[in-house]
Structure 1
Amino acid sequence: MNLSYLVQINRLPGNEDIELPKKMSELASGFDLYAAVEKEMVMEPGTRILVPTGFAIAMPAGLEAQIRPRSGLAYKHGITCLNTPGTIDADYRGEIKVLLINLGDEPFTITRNERIAQMVFQEVPEVELEQVDKLSDTVRGAGGFGHTGK
């Protein structure tokens, strides 16, 4: 069963030339995001920048948007999202911005209307936390951080 949600999008003033988020193939899960930088931005290796996208969204309750890296930028240039996935909550109405970092060996230039990341929508279940004195036992227990081997 395919669920469908209506997400409103608002192109911010001065960004009429910036592409709105769009899927690049029929079955893509992510919408590509475009840089709304006023002028070229050079990212030196090891630096991070906050890149505007020129739009804001309104999602229904129970939905979140996740900002994720583009695989091509990561593989070819070492450009990725620093806090991945970045979470956009349903009650946020500000401009969507992407926190990028250059993990590559060369400077990377971001130009206006360049694809910089992708946005994937996910359902967020209602969760209620219950405080207890003891948790149930499992075979794994508290094992973590490589407990099953290399």
Structure 2
Amino acid sequence: MKSNIFEVTGESVLMLYGSHLTGAPTSTLLVLSETPLGDAALEALEKSAVSLEFGTAPLAQVVVETAEGKLGAEDVRTIVEGLDPVALVACDAFAAEALSAAYRTPVTLDADNRLMGRTAAIFQDFEGMMNTPADKQRAWALLKKLR
């Protein structure tokens, strides 16, 4: 039996949204994208999470639209609040819009934002930024604002 109420809540969210969500109930960084991220983008985020000292189970990933359907605003908010991460990353404009709808507040693309006390790095196309060294540096500069 779990004694940490936060971990119990996180496990419940992972079970409820399992087709859209991977990670650990103690993940401290939540990454959202319209579709599953490619290996290069996912590796960059994992390395960034380690560099920014987000802990031993740093990364949870939400795929907003899967073959089983699209998450609504309340679903996104339930996931974020249930896992209660320290920070958020929206990897594309679709995920940014999902967060914006979930928290009923506009977000700025390619900038750091605040959502209910959490820092959020909001990208228009994080995966596209993995193609050139200059874009990778721009992405890293924004990710560093999470800490």
Q: Give TM-score, length-normalised by structure 2.
A: 0.28
Larger-Rg structure:
1
More strand, by proportion: 1
Task: State the TM-score, normalized to the length of structure 1.
Answer: 0.27
